[in-house]
C-alpha cells in the first residue's frame, strides 16, 4: 500500500514524473545503443582457403586469403609474405604470383584478359596457356604425404 502510494505520489509530482521518464528513456536508449554495438549482423569471415607459397622460405601451405592480388596473410613457418601458388602444366614447376596489377587504359577487354593471363606466366619455361592455380586439396594431400 505504501509502495502504491509512493508510485502514485511520484506520478502526480511533475518533477518526479519528468525525471522518471527521462531516466527510463535514457536506460532504453543506452540499451539500444549497446545492443547495436555488441550485436551487429555477423557476416562470415571473408577470404577463401587458398594454396600459397611463401616468398621467403618457399613453403607450400594453405591459408585463408581475402585479396589474392596482395595477400596480407603471413607464412605459418617464417612469417614471410606469401603469393598465390600456381603450377605449370607444361613443366610441373610450382611458383607464386603477386601484384599482378597493370595499367589497363587503352586496352580492349580481351587485351586486358590476355594481359592478366600473361602475368601468370611460368617463370621456369615461359608457358602462359597451360598454367593453373594449385588446388587446396592437392596441396593438403601433398603436405600429408610429406608428413607436415
- Residue ranges that bind other proteins, judged by CB under 8 A: 2, 5-6, 9-10, 13-16, 19, 23-24, 27-28, 31-32, 35, 39, 41-44, 46-51, 66-69, 84, 89-90, 101-102, 104-113, 116-117, 127, 129-130, 132-138
Residues 6+ apart with CB under 8 A from 95: 53, 85, 86, 87, 88, 122, 123, 124
Closer residue to other proteins in complex, CB, 35/77: 35
Residue 57 CB, shortest distance to other proteins, in Å, is 21
Comparing CB distances to other proteins, the nearer of 19 and 77 is: 19
Phi and psi based region of residue 99 (left: phi greater than 0; alpha: psi -120 to 50; beta: remaining): left
Chain position carrying cell 586496352: 107
Q: CB of residue 55 vs other proteins: minimum separation in angstroms?
A: 18
Residue number, 34 or 76, with CB nearest to other proteins: 34
- Shortest distance (Å) from residue 121 CB to other proteins: 13
How far is C-alpha 123 from the chain's CA centre?
A: 28
Of residues 12 and 146, the one with the C-beta less far from other proteins: 12
3-class state of residue 59 by DSSP: coil
Q: SS3 of 13, please?
A: coil
How buried is residue 58: exposed, middle or buried, by Cβ count under 10 Å (0-12/13-18/19+)?
A: middle
Of residues 14 and 146, the one with the C-beta less far from other proteins: 14
Q: In whole angstroms, how close is the CB of 95 to other proteins at the nearest point?
A: 14
| CA–CA distance, 148 with 133 (Å, rounded to integer) | 21
We find the least distance from the C-beta atom of residue 114 to other proteins, in angstroms, to be: 9
Assess contact for 53 and 63: CB atoms under 8 A.
Answer: no
Amino acid at each position: 500500500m505504501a509502495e502504491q502510494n509512493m508510485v502514485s505520489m511520484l506520478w502526480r509530482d511533475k518533477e518526479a514524473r519528468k525525471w522518471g521518464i527521462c531516466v527510463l528513456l535514457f536506460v532504453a536508449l543506452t540499451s539500444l545503443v549497446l545492443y547495436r554495438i555488441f550485436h551487429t549482423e555477423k557476416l562470415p569471415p571473408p577470404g577463401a582457403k587458398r594454396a600459397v607459397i611463401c616468398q621467403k622460405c618457399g613453403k607450400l601451405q594453405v591459408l585463408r586469403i581475402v585479396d589474392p592480388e596482395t595477400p596480407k596473410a603471413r607464412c605459418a613457418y617464417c612469417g614471410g609474405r606469401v603469393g598465390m601458388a600456381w603450377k605449370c602444366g607444361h613443366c610441373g614447376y610450382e611458383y607464386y604470383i603477386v601484384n599482378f596489377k597493370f595499367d589497363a587504359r587503352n586496352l580492349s577487354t580481351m587485351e586486358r584478359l590476355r594481359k592478366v593471363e600473361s602475368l601468370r606466366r611460368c617463370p621456369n619455361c615461359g608457358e602462359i596457356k597451360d598454367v593453373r592455380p594449385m588446388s587446396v586439396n592437392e596441396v593438403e594431400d601433398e603436405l600429408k604425404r610429406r608428413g607436415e
